[in-house]
Amino acid sequence: MVYFDALKEIKKKQFEPVYLLYGTESYLIQDIQQALVKHAVPDDEQDVNLSVYDLDEVPIQEVMMDAETFPFLGERKLLLCKNPSFLKAKPDKLQIEHDVSVLQQYLEQPAEYSIVVFIAPYEKIDERKKIVKQMKKSGKVIPCQSLKEHEMASWVHSLAKDLHIDIESAAVDVFIQENGTNLMSIQNELEKMSLYVGDGGTITKEVADLLAAHNSQSSALKLVDAVMNQNVEKAILIYKDLEKQNEEPIALLALLASQFRLIYQTKLLQQKGYTQNQMTQQIKAHPFAIKMALGRARGFNDKQLGTIMQLLTDTDAAMKQGRMEKNLAFELLLYQLVHVKKKRA
């Protein structure tokens, strides 16, 4: 992944004259930006050799003039240029006018003492444009989009290495299950657990389960697993824990239904010969969620899943029509789901 390679080079003080960071994953953009600020310009020089420009308000020719000016009492200067809309297929209409030819001329021979960083928080840029091609040739273009499943795992392992700890693959799955693709949350969780295991320690699945900050989405998955394992006691304990967090039974029922619906969908699509990638496109779910659902689908047959979906529908109606007290209805549902799993079809 370009992001990891760039970050390693920056930490070794191996800088490119020009960077283009584009994409909607703000955490990755901020991480590269902060690494450049930390490693390229000493703290006591940042007041004079670090500049931030908003290209919605400042023309690019003014920025290039600054880039060609020698740093003040320092080795190099860093220019952070936000919102370069001229890189999009349809640039924004601005009151100022960017003379992109000035940038093109600069890219032909960038100043050795300046690092110019373009920060484009857009889903796409127009890679057909000459200016983008020049940036690729003269510097480094770093996509900062939401990570894919295998990239998430690499990112977690890389961050763990930076914290001087190891992490088991099963624990990585816990992190992704609990936090999804929220990179900031995953980093915070890793830092917390690194203090627990200590320098050189290993985060095991048991440690991750013990210390991870839980959310209702992941707890719904644990309820599914408790049903699969026919462990009604664990299911009730998970529910009681969620109840203490003031989670509404109707909301929990909806989460539980969404998980079983995903399991049922993946099972049916798998029977039709769909690959995991095809399922992702068909269902419009995250690849990791599809992978987890496929794993759980092996624990149920079609008849069981059909019965479970009906029980979820009936319980939802009972709650909303006031035919049964909500908390009691949810506990009864958990007993019924475990009973369905125990039955042989």
Whole-number Å distance between alpha carbons of 28 and 9? 15
Q: What is the pLDDT of residues 225-234, one digit of tens each?
A: 777 777 888 8
Q: Over the chain, what is the mean pLDDT?
A: 87
pLDDT of residue 26: 85
Ranges of CATH 1.20.272.10 domains, the chain: 216-342
Q: What is the pLDDT of residues 21-42, one digit of tens each?
A: 999 888 889 989 999 999 999 9
Q: What is the pLDDT of residues 155-193, one digit of tens each?
A: 888 889 889 999 998 888 888 777 766 777 788 888 989
For residue 216, pLDDT beyond 60: no
- Beta-bridged to residue 80, according to DSSP, are 52, 117
- pLDDT category of residue 274 using cuts at 50, 70 and 90: very high
Q: What is the pLDDT of residues 139-160, one digit of tens each?
A: 999 998 877 766 788 888 888 9
Q: How many CB atoms lie within 10 A of CB 18?
A: 25
Ranges of CATH 3.40.50.300 domains, the chain: 2-143
- pLDDT category of residue 242 using cuts at 50, 70 and 90: confident
Would the pTM count as exceeding 0.75? no
Q: Is 67 exposed, middle or buried (0-12, 13-18, 19+ CB in 10 A)?
A: buried
For residue 345, pLDDT beyond 70: no
Q: What percentage of the chain exceeds 90 in pLDDT?
A: 49
The CATH-assigned architecture of domain 2-143 is 3-Layer(aba) Sandwich (3.40)
For residue 241, pLDDT beyond 70: yes
What is the mean pLDDT of the segment spanning 99-114? 95
For residue 209, pLDDT beyond 60: yes
Helix (H) or strand (E) holding 19: strand 18-22
Residues in CB range of 240: below 8 A, 6 or more apart:
none
* CA torsion, ordered 203, 209, 214, 216, to nearest 10 deg: 140
Ranges of CATH 1.10.8.60 domains, the chain: 149-211
Q: Give 191's DSSP letter.
A: H
Token match 């600054």: residue?
66
- Given this structure, which CATH class describes domain 216-342? mainly alpha
User: By the 8 A CB rule, do 117 and 81 touch?
Assistant: yes
Closest CA to 152 of 190, 188, 182: 182
Q: What is the pLDDT of residues 121-131, one digit of tens each?
A: 998 899 899 99
pLDDT of residue 215: 58
DSSP codes joined into one string, 159-186 = HHHHTT-EE-HHHHHHHHHHHTT-HHHH
Whole-number Å distance between alpha carbons of 11 and 107? 24
pLDDT of residue 116: 97
Q: What percentage of the chain exceeds 70 in pLDDT?
A: 94
Whole-number Å distance between alpha carbons of 72 and 47? 10
The domain made up of 149-211 has a fold known as Helicase, Ruva Protein; domain 3 (1.10.8)
Half-sphere exposure of residue 39: CA atoms within 13 angstroms, side-chain side:
17
DSSP codes joined into one string, 123-141 = S---TTSHHHHHHHHHSEE
CA atoms 239, 243, 246, 251: torsion sign: positive
